[in-house]
Amino acid sequence: RKEVEQDPGPFNVPEGATVAFNCTYSNSASQSFFWYRQDCRKEPKLLMSVYSSGNEDGRFTAQLNRASQYISLLIRDSKLSDSATYLCVVNAFSSNTGKLIFGQGTTLQVKP
């Protein structure tokens, strides 16, 4: 089983749609969770951290379910500019090395 698993998609949605991505992780001891965004042929960029209580940043909402070991990202009112690959990221539980485990990403294509 992969340490971080995501549905690769692609998710094809019309502008204005709401879309949700889920991600599961295998290590119950993981403490830090993030969503990154990666545009084609670009570097990954931090979209948002994921907190236990859930958190929102504009149109983006992240949720964490520790009991089921999954993380979700909800995008409301999708824009064309949201088209990208979204990476689910979990810390590798080790002696404070800051190592992260990256999912392979979910591709979103927002169409006019």
Partner 1 sequence: DAGITQSPRHKVTETGTPVTLRCHQTENHRYMYWYRQDPGHGLRLIHYSYGVKDTDKGEVSDGYSVSRSKTEDFLLTLESATSSQTSVYFCAISNTDRGDNQPQHFGDGTRLSIL
Q: Which residues bind partner 1 (CB under 8 A)?
A: 31-32, 34, 42-46, 49, 87, 89, 91, 96-100, 102-105
Least separation in angstroms between CB 9 and partner 1 = 14
Residue 110's nearest CA partner among 17, 45, 3 is: 17
85: amino acid identity, one letter: T
Among residues 50 and 75, whose Cβ is nearest to partner 1? 50
d(CA 66, CA 82) in angstroms, rounded, equals: 27
Least separation in angstroms between CB 13 and partner 1 = 23
Least separation in angstroms between CB 44 and partner 1 = 5
53: alpha, beta or left? (left if phi > 0; alpha if psi -120 to 50): alpha
DSSP state of 91: E
Structure tokens at 98: 């800051």
Least separation in angstroms between CB 18 and partner 1 = 25
Among residues 6 and 78, whose Cβ is nearest to partner 1? 6
Among residues 3 and 70, whose Cβ is nearest to partner 1? 3
